[in-house]
Amino acid sequence: MLVRSSAAVILIFFAIDLASSQQQDAPRVWTKSGRIRGRYLISAQGKKYAAFEGIPYAMPPIGPRRFEPPVPVQPWANELSANHTRDVCLQHRRDKNKWGSYLQGSEDCLYLDVYVPPPNNNSKRNASMPVIFYIHGGAFQYGATTQMGAKYLADYGVILVTIKYRLGVLGFLSTEDDVLPGNMGLKDQSMALQWIHANIAGFGGDPKKITLAGLSAGGASVHYHYLSPMSRGLFHAGMSFSGTAFDCWTQTENSREKAFRVADLVNCPNHEPREMMRCMKSLTAESLVGVEPNFMPWQLYPFTPFGPVAERNSKRPFIDRSPVEIINSGDVQDVPWITGVVSEEGLYQVAELVNKPAVLREMDQQWLSIAPHFLDYYFTIPNHMHSAVARVVRENYFGNKTIGNATLPQLIRMSGDRFFNVDAQRAAKAQAAANKSPVWFFHYSYRANTSMSDRTTNSTKNYGVCHGDDICMVLDNPFIVPKTPSDIAMSKDLLKMWVTVARTGFVFLLSANQNTLNGILNFIKNYLQCSSPNFGPKWTKVDPFKKAFNFLEISGPSKHKMKSDSNFAQVQFWDRIDFDENRVIIKPYGPRNAGSSIFFTGNAVLALVCFLGIYSFKFM
């Protein structure tokens, strides 16, 4: 018995000594908020890099701070242990977790992670490193960066920052007044960006070289920061992957009515905003987030019932007008911007339906009632026109075919065009017209050995390049791990693109065997001499004054070429449907000719009859 006790004591002291040794060897930084201790991780090339995870950038948004703008974090006196990432922001997920619940996360979630690469012996002593500030996606309702890491980027001399921000009801509820103006999640992002700008030098980063990057709702968030005075001057470039502020799902409609309905569902006063707020602040966060499915009437669609709003009645708004209004006014941060889409964006929605024949059958048979929710136009087209829009969209993409497994490619194209492709093009042209800084657009069509859709469809069938597949080639994740020679080469191409943007603000692609630093120097030299690099493809910036839309097609490693398309993503078809979010016309083209709209006041019935074939008129 004594021997066992002695052995136990020895093990305890060994564990304490080991922990003490690990703490002594841990990386440390000093910031304006206080001292921080992190841990070391290993990069893809076997190098040791520093990870500082779980750093608070704002006070916990709980109790009286629920639904309020973020409050700056108070400095801490003792050393902060930042050796593990914190829980995700409380969210209602689309699938159950391992405990059988759709709810996941914590309301206390305003934390960020910083990943610092090892010093480069070839760089100048004390040279600051560029920073990539990554914002996760998830339709503003769910998501996290816990599965997106710096394993690959750490080998390229770039600091990666990932953040958490409030989501869904807790992050975007709005009564459209100064009581609850909304956009708490975007304000969280801006506060995290302010913290990084003020403190990144302590990690070895350059506050003048912060590049925003994001996927989906994260990509749209990046674009929103170009439009917000809160984030002005805090970054030098941005990259929006499969998401812009023009996308229909990133602009919330009927926010006030939704807020009062939330109150009603949780038995709070639903007429006076202040009474409603007092009541909802007293409830559990889980009870509030739990009502979100009530705003997704068909198979959790529309997928973003709570998102960004124009704070027209707020004293300190994140934005005070719609994205199109802000860009048309020219009130946009004038720094370079890259945006683009993948070839099968619609897989994001459709992959969930692949193994659900009964749901596809329901969609086919009840399309007229389902379409306004699935295509997210319930609030942006008058009720009496809902069925008409459903008919013309179906005719355009399916003809007289049944919606089912045999027509999944058409369903994917329709979904991708509506939710991502068309509005990404519009956003790129509008921003290029408003700013002097260049805007570049890409179309990514490389199918890796695995895809994000494999997990959702529970199969390895090739349905195309899924929403998010490009990001997964750059950020370490469990979904796509580049293993084949082709995938590894494609990953290196994209990594070098990210790195050159972070370092220079310019964008171009190097093939996997080109040296990054020499490539950058050659690029800058040739850019200054003749505005045309003499290696690889020239990535031409978006020209808003040309009808044809120019973009870079990325179809494989070292396979990058410029293309031009005057009807990219069937934009001419979608331009003729008068969605409310498109009513403010993008300069420099001026107002659309009223006769070009299918659904024009006074002529709606005639236009619909013509379209359906009584007159043999069809879109080209």
Query: Contacts for 410-413 with beta carbons within 8 Å, 24 or more apart?
Result: 411/346, 411/350, 411/353, 412/344, 412/345, 412/346, 412/347, 412/350, 412/463, 412/464, 413/346
Measuring CA to CA, which residue among 218, 151, 158 is closest to residue 474? Answer: 151
CA–CA separation, 466 and 468 (whole Å): 6
| 216 carries an active-site annotation | yes
DSSP string, 382-400: -GGGHHHHHHHHHHHHHTT
**Rg of the chain, C-alpha, whole Å:** 25
Neighbours of 18 (CB within 10 A): 10
DSSP state of 125: T
Distance of CA 4 to the CA centre of its chain: 55
Tokens at residue 309, please?
A: 């709003």
Active-site residue (options: 53, 253, 344, 345)? 345
3-class DSSP assignment, residue 323 = helix
List of residues 6+ apart from 318 with CB closer than 8 A: 183, 186, 187, 190, 224, 228, 230, 308, 311
At residue 479, what is the residue type? F
Active-site residue (options: 216, 415, 451, 491)? 216
**Which residue in this structure is represented by tokens 């964006």?**
345
Residues constituting the chain:
620
DSSP state of 585: P
Tokens at residue 401, please?
A: 């075919």
Query: Contacts for 126-130 with beta carbons within 8 Å, 24 or more apart?
Result: 128/201, 128/204, 128/205, 128/206, 128/209, 129/157, 129/158, 129/159, 129/204, 129/205, 129/206, 130/157, 130/158, 130/159, 130/205, 130/206, 130/209, 130/210, 130/211, 130/499, 130/502, 130/503
168 with 306: CB under 8 angstroms? yes
Q: Residue 517 belongs to what H/E stretch?
A: helix 516-530
CA–CA separation, 181 and 481 (whole Å): 41
CA–CA separation, 212 and 163 (whole Å): 12
List of residues 6+ apart from 251 with CB closer than 8 A: 245, 307, 308, 309, 322, 323, 581
Measuring CA to CA, which residue among 550, 570, 548, 549 is closest to residue 562? Answer: 550
Residue 474, φ and ψ in degrees, nearest 5: -115, -45
- Count Cα neighbours of 504 within 13 Å in the Cβ-side half-sphere: 18
Q: Residue 211 belongs to what H/E stretch?
A: strand 205-215
Measuring CA to CA, which residue among 203, 201, 200, 207 is closest to residue 233? Answer: 207
**Which residue in this structure is represented by tokens 């391992």?**
98
Query: Contacts for 482-486 with beta carbons within 8 Å, 24 or more apart?
Result: 482/448, 482/449, 483/449, 484/448, 484/449, 486/449, 486/556, 486/557
Active-site residue (options: 223, 225, 467, 560)? 467
Active site residues: 216, 345, 467
